[in-house]
Each structure stands twice: as structure tokens, then as C-alpha cells.
A and B are shown apart, each in its own frame.
Chain A
Amino acid sequence: MAEVLLRVTGLVAGYAAPVAGPLGFELRRGEILGLAGPNGAGKSTLLKALWGGVRVFGGHIEKAPGLAISHQAQGFDDLRGVPLTGHELLGLTGATADGLPPWLAGRLGERLDRLSGGQLQFLRLWACLAVPADLILLDEPTNNLDRAGVAYLADWLGRAHSGQGIVIVSHDHGLIDDVCTRVVEVGAPS
């Protein structure tokens, strides 16, 4: 059986006060876990709690020793006017360009503000996906992606990734159903 990367029990998380949880699951290498639930259930908050981005009020998160985590956050800063190329962006996170879709691979030498919104979002997503990490956390990865980007992401996630564990929060039920090996429901906060 594959190594357990993450064991979460009774996780309750929030900011000034608890807003999400409790949540419990176990994630093994090679698994893609979907966190599903209604709007406002706190799925993104719980995802952030997995790497320490928000306050944990209760429960326990047990990580495999030396676990390397990559987190793709929802939303991003406006990069118009910043003279940065796609190659430079990928270099920042250590992501590889191998496996990029052809409609983006040929444009890595261009400034980011020359790309379409969908291309830029995909590139930012790729900079978090194609990195040497054991655990990848994706928060609404299909937001702002165009149709080609969503299709390529689903295809990429659908291929076996035996070396990594992935947790996805998405309102896109089609993506969750297509790529996740398991889905955990997050209840609405009481």
C-alpha cells in the first residue's frame, strides 16, 4: 500500500474564530482527494489549514516526515505591467515546462501581460502543479481558465501521478467526478 502523506482528524479551522470543520481524512501517495460541499462550508479554509495558512482550532494534522507541499491559491494579483516572462515565472517555483500544453509552451518567452487571462491563469496553476512536491493543494483550479485549460487540466490530473498526493477544492463537479479517486464532503458550518 502507498505511503500515507497526510492524516487529518477532527480538523476545525478559521481566522479569529472557527469557521470550518470538523474534517477527517487520510491521503496516500497517488491519490487525488476532492473536498466537496456547499458554498460557505469552509473548504478553502480547511485546505489552507493543511499547510498552516490559517488558525487551527481543533483536531490534528499528521504529515509524513519531510513532506513538501505546493499550494495553488484561489485568485491572484494583477500582473499587468510587470515585465516577467513565462520562463521566469516557472523558474521562481522550480516548475518544469515539460508537459505544458502546446498553446502555451511556445509563448513562455513572452511577457505575462501579453498572455490571455486564461493562459496566464493556467501558467500560474502549472507553476504550482509541475513542481517537485509530495502534496499539491489546489483551490478552485478551474477558476478563470478557458475551456482548453480546463480540458488540459482534467486530462493531466487524470493521468497517474503515483509520486504525489493531490487535494482539490472545486465547485466544478465535473472535474471532481472525473479526476478524484475519493471525495470527502465538508458540511456547512453550524
Chain B
Amino acid sequence: MNFDLLLDPLFRVPFLTGLLLAALLPLIGMYLRLRHEWLAALAFAQMASAGALLAMVAGWPMILGGVLAALVAALAKGLMARAGAGAYALMMLLAWGGGVLLVANHPLAEQAGHALFDGQLYFTGDGHLLAAGVACAVVVPLLAWLSRPLLLGRLFPEFYRARGLDARPRLMLFDLITGLSVALATVSLGVMAAFALVFVPPLVAYRFARSWRAGMVLSAVIGMLGYSVSFAVSLGLDQPFGPVCAVVLVMLAASTGRDSYRM
């Protein structure tokens, strides 16, 4: 055990990068859960992972490959809207199959594949931090703008059409920012942690929040808290970050017990 590493300046950039994403991903997860689309986050993460591997093999930056693959997935999701969860399953199968084939046939891909799944947070640099900062600065205001159409889409699906308006461009924009954010998180935190941060904090916030606004705040706080604990535990105990983050968040959700609206 070496918790002195937590104070090492070397880990400040990785910590801050992850902290920004840990605040952002639960906000997106709130709307994915609302729309019964949380599985899309896993599909996007898998696609981003496969895209990053493909980019590495091709000699491109992994972050570019991950983002492009996730954006293609987001576009495909929008076009296959009627397929619902079936479309996400197809994407996941494609990403798994493609990723495993790359790992099996390219020596460098095997190591990178493990890193993408487990999380390579400690190797993130200033570029990742900058990308995470820009993502937060762009996505948070966009989410605030998209909140009403996303909520109306679940509660009053005919609201815009009855008024002669088309909500699809806004919903497509949500898919794109989801793909972008999840891809960035996948290449920074790993598939497992990215999905856990999208899924678990909203799961808890839905149970405890007194309102939608409170739920958004609570999910971001849970994400940052769970992430910080995971970062300290994985660094101090020299464990891979992704699995630690997933286990910590699930334990947090399990420890909250039955429904009780207190926030």
C-alpha cells in the first residue's frame, strides 16, 4: 500500500481529467436512463474502444479513433431509432468481435486492449485534460438546453409534432454529445469505469432525489465521490482503476438501501 502517491504531482492531471468526466457522465446518464437508453452508453463505450484500437494499429491517435467510432455509433443509433435496444446489442457485438480480432492479430493491440478495458487513467496527459475540460464546457450548457425536449420526449412524446415542430435534430444532438463524451471517457478511464459512471450515479439519484434538478446535482456528486474514492484505492493498492471504480460505485448503490426521497 502506498497512499503517498496521492500527493504526487504526477497524478494531478490524471485525477483532474477523471474528475471532470466523473461529473459529466452521470449527467448524461440521467437522460439515458430517462429514455430507457442506458445500454447505449455501453454500446458507445465498446465502439469507442474498438475504434481506438483500430486507430492505434493504423498509426493514428487512439483518442481520434475512439471519438470517430463513437460518433458513427451515435449516428447509427439515431438512424436505427426504431430498433431500440436491438441496435445497441448489434453495435456491442460488432465492437467486441472487431476488438478481439484486432487483439488476436496485432501484438500491440493486446496491451492496448487491456488498457482500454481496465482503464489507463494514470497515463492520461494534458491533452486528455484539455479535451475533458472542453467537453464539460460544451456539453453541460448543451444538456441544459436539451433538457426540456428530452423530458418532453418521454412524458409527452407528441408535444412537438402537435405543434408542427420536429424534435429529432435535438435528439440527434444528444446522441452525438453522448457518443463524444463516452468516447473521451473510454480512452481516459476505460470501458468499465465509463459505463459505471454513466449507469450507477443516476440509478441512485433516481431513487433519492426530490426533483429532476436535485437528481442532476446528486448524480454528479455521487459520480465525483465514487470516482475520487476509486482513484485513491486503486492508486494506493496498486490495482487497475476501471474494476475498482465499478466495484466502488456498485457498493455505493447497494449500501443506499431502499427508496427514500431525501434530496
Interface residues of A (CB under 8 A from B): 51-53, 68-71, 73, 76-77, 79, 81-85, 87-89, 92-93, 111, 114, 124, 127-128, 137
A92 with B211: CB separation less than 8 A: no
A92 with B162: CB separation less than 8 A: no
For B216, the closest partner residue in chain A by CB is: A83
A51 with B206: CB separation less than 8 A: no
For A128, the closest partner residue in chain B by CB is: B156
A92 with B148: CB separation less than 8 A: yes
Q: Mark B195-231, 1 if CB is under 8 A from A, else 0.
A: 0000000000111111111110000000000000000
Q: Does B152 sit within 8 A of A, measured CB to CB?
A: yes
For B34, the closest partner residue in chain A by CB is: A82
How distant is the Cα of A84 from the Cα of B205 in the complex, in angstroms? 11
Q: Does B123 sit within 8 A of A, measured CB to CB?
A: no
B212 with A83: CB separation less than 8 A: yes
Which single member of A53, A71, A111 contacts B261 (CB below 8 Å)? Answer: A111
How distant is the Cα of A127 from the Cα of B162 in the complex, in angstroms? 14
Q: Does B257 sit within 8 A of A, measured CB to CB?
A: no
Q: Which residues of chain A come closer than 8 Å to B162, judged between CB atoms?
A: 51-53, 69-71, 137
Q: Which residues of chain B come closer than 8 Å to A70, judged between CB atoms?
A: 162
Q: Which residues of chain A come closer than 8 Å to B214, judged between CB atoms?
A: 83
Q: Does B5 sit within 8 A of A, measured CB to CB?
A: no
Q: Does B163 sit within 8 A of A, measured CB to CB?
A: yes
B158 with A53: CB separation less than 8 A: yes
Q: Does B159 sit within 8 A of A, measured CB to CB?
A: yes
Min CB distance B167 to A, Å, is 13
The A/B interface has a contact count, at CB < 8 Å, of 67
- The secondary structure that dominates the B interface is helix
Q: Does B138 sit within 8 A of A, measured CB to CB?
A: no
**What range describes how many residues of B lie at the interface?**
20 to 34
B155 with A79: CB separation less than 8 A: yes
How distant is the Cα of A159 from the Cα of B34 in the complex, in angstroms? 37
B163 with A68: CB separation less than 8 A: yes
Min CB distance B91 to A, Å, is 25
How distant is the Cα of A93 from the Cα of B154 in the complex, in angstroms? 12
Min CB distance B206 to A, Å, is 5
Which single member of B156, B207, B213 contacts A93 (CB below 8 Å)? Answer: B156
Q: Does B151 sit within 8 A of A, measured CB to CB?
A: yes
Which single member of A69, A83, A127 contacts B206 (CB below 8 Å)? Answer: A83
For B148, the closest partner residue in chain A by CB is: A92
A85 with B210: CB separation less than 8 A: yes
Q: Which residues of chain B come closer than 8 Å to A82, judged between CB atoms?
A: 34, 154, 206
How distant is the Cα of A87 from the Cα of B211 in the complex, in angstroms? 9
Residue with the greatest number of chain A CB neighbours at <10 A, chosen from B34, B158, B209: B158
B211 with A111: CB separation less than 8 A: yes
Q: Which residues of chain B come closer than 8 Å to A53, judged between CB atoms?
A: 158, 161-162
Q: List 17 A-B contacts (CB under 8 A).
A: A51-B161, A68-B163, A73-B156, A81-B206, A83-B209, A83-B261, A84-B151, A85-B210, A87-B211, A88-B151, A88-B213, A89-B155, A92-B152, A92-B156, A92-B159, A93-B152, A93-B156
Q: A77-B154, A83-B214 are in contact. List 8 more A-B contacts (CB 8 A).
A: A51-B162, A53-B161, A53-B162, A69-B163, A92-B155, A92-B156, A92-B159, A111-B210
Min CB distance A126 to B, Å, is 12
